[in-house]
A = this chain, B = another copy of it.
Amino acid sequence: MGKFVFNFKEGSAAMKNLLGGKGANLAEMMRIGLPVPPGFTVTTEACSRYFKEGEKIPEDIVGEIFAHLSELEETMGKKLGSRENPLLVSVRSGAPVSMPGMMDTILNLGLNDESVEGLYESTGNRRFAFDCYRRFIQMFSNVVLGVEHDKFERIIESVKRKRKAEYDTELDDRDWEEVIQHYKDLILKETRSEFPQDPRKQLMMAVEAVFRSWNNQRAIIYRRINKIPDDLGTAVNVQSMVFGNMGNDSGTGVAFTRNPSTGEKHFYGEFLLNAQGEDVVAGIRTPKNIEELKELMPEVYEQLINVSNLLERHYKDMQDIEFTVEKGKLYLLQTRNGKRTAQAAVKIAVDMAKEGLITKEEALMRVSPEQVASLLHSRIDPSAKVEIIAKGLPASPGAAWGQVVFSPDEAENLGHQGIKVILVRTETTPDDIHGIVAAQGVLTSRGGMTSHAAVVARGMGKPCVCGCDSISIDYANEEFKAGGITVKKGEVISIDGSTGNVILGKVKMIDPVLSEEFKELLGWADEIRKLSVRTNADTPKDAEVARNFGAEGIGLCRTEHMFMDQKRLPYVQEMIMAETADEREKALFVIQNFQEEDFEGIFRAMEGLPVTIRLLDPPLHEFLPKEEELVEEINELKQKGEKELLRKKQEVLKRVRSLKEFNPMLGLRGCRLGIVYPEIYDMQIRAIFNAACRLTKKGIKVLPEVEIPLVSNVNELKKLTERVHEIAKKIMEEEGIKVDYKVGTMLELPRACLIADELARYAEFFSFGTNDLTQTTYGLSRDDAEAKFLPYYISNKILNEDPFIVLDRDGVGTLMKIAVEKGRKVNREILIGICGEHGGEPNSIEFCHEIGLDYVSCSPFRVPVARLAAAHAVLKERIK
């Protein structure tokens, strides 16, 4: 039989999996001599046994817990439930992976009708004792017995009304005794049994409740969002209580060793005098800046600074510290690596590397690619005229706009429909997570920089403005007032989480600027990564943006967007309507001129870097008007009697109908067009090489890569590559110019992957088009699935993730591996990349590195993300 309970003195930071993060760090702090109230930890293995053995704490573990309790009583010289000298403990969850605010905590356990008197006697503070007791009953009943929080608050409110009190602090010991009586009545009514008076029973019930809370709804959602395995389990920490609410020489607070918002190296935090920890985190009272403590408790402040330095050096990372001051004495209740904004993460990592605290590699691993992504969020254009209606705390940087919603459910609902929303709440709780996930940003009227909303939003990289007390929210009428202005549900506001500004309407955003630290970090990433990073760009502007972000070429330039341009569409339509190859050629001639301009612009922007140009891909009907619109137009024209135009439209309708397909995704598109209508591809190939030759003549280095899309059999590729070489040769000979070019293909159909060896005989490069490859491998039309059943699949855990977002390694990935192996077997030099949206998604990039791709290509704003993710892939591989 194992050991399932550990005294804090027995543990260390290395035992995180067993003791949970909180327990391990409490042990570690004790180990290095910091003032930690004594206690013990019930391990995660105990939690696993609890679930395995039918949600019952096994007898042997119960025994161990009580043995450690006795030890604790001895250490403290107090006894649980004793009238003389009662020991009070906190019972807190602590999973191996930090899940802030997600698990349940019970303070002041051990109080009952007797020991409350003991507490009074030992502290001499009757009001304090009964306040503790009612807090305990309230927390215990809520968490363990499942009685609604609001019902307790209503009791306090009614007593306050009776006393005509505004604040809790105005209530005295007898008021609290009255509250407690009402509480007990409530509990009897709700649970049909008395509030448990036996402190040992209280303890075991609390431990069980913590275990159970591992599987409560909000914990499950948090784990799903943060991809934490469900089978880790939580530890339970039982710790002797210290009290921040014993008067104005007491208090409690949260501090960071560096600024979690900006990353600047200075001690940062908040505290509340005469309060218990819950008051700070819950955001009910707005706390004070830690600087103020310097004057109020100079010694404690200095001690805190020292602790801060010690912990940061010890953990080699920015720490988030919970402390309590009991009658002037400092106790540390928790330390952990602090959550931080993306901006702070970058600055702290780079600073610490420069300070020699960590290596460059460690610095890189400290910043997640998704954090980088959030740094690339837009900001509000400083030159834009904006109407600021309120100002709160700048709790999570970045700007966002959206329709105002007041309910998390509604936020989720609208979010799923693709509607941008800002979630507006007085304060948020863990139950609101799904709404925060769905919203563009969060605005709260209460709570500080460490309130729930702030912490969660920062973790998600979403803009958040907190504690904006100048707005008053009216849930019932679904509106909020800010100054003289009333903003109703559905109206659009913007928030700026970097300044705290709340702005009426939608404001103009501008592109982000990268900080020096950020550039430095990405430079380190470039030294390490093996994957090259390219961008998907169809215009010179996009190409430039991407190049500035470090793109090393274009991995996908789609030519169809060029066809859609309003100036060109008439010619494109003429080309499609052409009845002979001759007529088609004529229209194509005009389009060719446009295309040459396009390609020149892109080649210029990417001078010296490779540019993969995909020949026309979508079905031709995408360039024609919609059938229903045409029918309507024709009906109107008939009534007007406009015969000439009518005839023309009727012809278009005929063509639209003849081009109609049951499953356009699987129809006449991609290289199938190139085979059936060779004139179109010929035109594009001519345009590419005309443009390339022209620029080469001017001394501009051009590296075109012509890409044949939607290949499913080798003859398609053979025929079309031959055509490219033929035209290229002719034009280069005519121009007397040699252009360094490649011809290759997109692998976007399962069959292409399966015959990659055959394809590699003709292709000089492969580019995985994982969007279409995912659609065909799954037999899933993205447009249909995401609208109809993919959300259902994900929320019902049929699928863990949307395979269009995170690359499906088992299916699509297996095909990719097959293709890489087969392709390289025939052509060792073949260049292989990815250009689907997965090319900018960190998990997918890691996979691309693992299977040995040469490059990933992603949208311009994902380029820095990909650079970092590619470096992470190398570093993770080293660890394995």
- Residue positions of A touching B, CB distance < 8 A: 661-668, 672, 675-676, 710, 712-713, 715-716, 719, 748-751, 754-755, 758, 772, 775-781, 783-785, 788-789, 792-793, 796-799, 808, 810-812, 814-815
Q: Is B675 a contact partner of A793 (Cβ separation < 8 A)?
A: yes
**Cα distance, A572 to B665, chains bound together (Å):** 29
Q: Contacts A712-B779, A754-B811, A815-B754: A789 and B665 contacting too (C-beta < 8 A)?
A: no
Q: Contacts A665-B666, A784-B663, A784-B668: A776 and B798 contacting too (C-beta < 8 A)?
A: no
Q: Which residues of B contact A668 (CB under 8 A)?
A: 784-785, 788-789
Q: Which residues of B contact A712 (CB under 8 A)?
A: 777-780, 811
**Cα distance, A662 to B716, chains bound together (Å):** 26
Q: Which residues of B contact A797 (CB under 8 A)?
A: 715
Q: Is A810 a contact partner of B754 (Cβ separation < 8 A)?
A: yes
B750, B783, B796, B799: the one within 8 Å of A815 (CB): B750
B666, B785, B796: the one within 8 Å of A775 (CB): B666
Q: Which residues of B contact A663 (CB under 8 A)?
A: 663-666, 781, 783-784
Q: Which residues of B contact A661 (CB under 8 A)?
A: 781, 784, 788
Which single residue of chain B is at the shortest CB-CB distance from A808? B751
**Cα distance, A710 to B793, chains bound together (Å):** 15
- The smallest beta-carbon distance between A792 and chain B, in angstroms, is 6
Q: Which residues of B contact A758 (CB under 8 A)?
A: 810
Q: Which residues of B contact A750 (CB under 8 A)?
A: 750, 776-777, 779, 811, 815
Q: Contacts A663-B784, A712-B779, A750-B750: A811 and B772 contacting too (C-beta < 8 A)?
A: no
Q: Which residues of B contact A710 (CB under 8 A)?
A: 779
- The smallest beta-carbon distance between A543 and chain B, in angstroms, is 29
**Cα distance, A799 to B672, chains bound together (Å):** 12
Q: Is B784 a contact partner of A662 (Cβ separation < 8 A)?
A: yes
**Cα distance, A713 to B814, chains bound together (Å):** 14
Q: Which residues of B contact A667 (CB under 8 A)?
A: 781, 784-785, 788
Q: Is A783 a contact partner of B749 (Cβ separation < 8 A)?
A: no
B777, B778, B781, B811: the one within 8 Å of A662 (CB): B781
Q: Is A672 a contact partner of B755 (Cβ separation < 8 A)?
A: no
Q: Is A792 a contact partner of B676 (Cβ separation < 8 A)?
A: yes
B749, B785, B792, B810: the one within 8 Å of A777 (CB): B749
Which single residue of chain B is at the shortest CB-CB distance from A810? B755
**Cα distance, A715 to B811, chains bound together (Å):** 14
A-B contact pairs, 11 of them (CB 8 A): A662-B781, A662-B783, A662-B784, A663-B663, A667-B781, A668-B785, A675-B789, A676-B789, A749-B777, A749-B778, A751-B808
- The smallest beta-carbon distance between A632 and chain B, in angstroms, is 12
**Cα distance, A799 to B676, chains bound together (Å):** 13
Q: Which residues of B contact A811 (CB under 8 A)?
A: 712, 750-751, 754-755
B665, B675, B716, B798: the one within 8 Å of A713 (CB): B798
B664, B666, B716, B814: the one within 8 Å of A754 (CB): B814
**Cα distance, A667 to B663, chains bound together (Å):** 10
**Cα distance, A341 to B785, chains bound together (Å):** 52
- The smallest beta-carbon distance between A534 and chain B, in angstroms, is 24
B748, B779, B783, B785: the one within 8 Å of A776 (CB): B779
Which single residue of chain B is at the shortest CB-CB distance from A778? B712
**Cα distance, A748 to B663, chains bound together (Å):** 17
Q: Is A713 a contact partner of B799 (Cβ separation < 8 A)?
A: yes
**Cα distance, A755 to B667, chains bound together (Å):** 27
Which single residue of chain B is at the shortest CB-CB distance from A785? B667
Which single residue of chain B is at the shortest CB-CB distance from A783? B662
Q: Is B666 a contact partner of A784 (Cβ separation < 8 A)?
A: yes
Q: With A665-B781, A754-B814 given, can you name 14 additional A-B contacts, CB distance below 8 Å?
A: A661-B784, A662-B783, A663-B664, A663-B781, A665-B666, A666-B666, A667-B788, A668-B785, A712-B778, A713-B798, A750-B776, A754-B810, A755-B811, A776-B779
Q: Which of A662, A667, A751, A777 has the most CB of B within 10 A?
A: A751
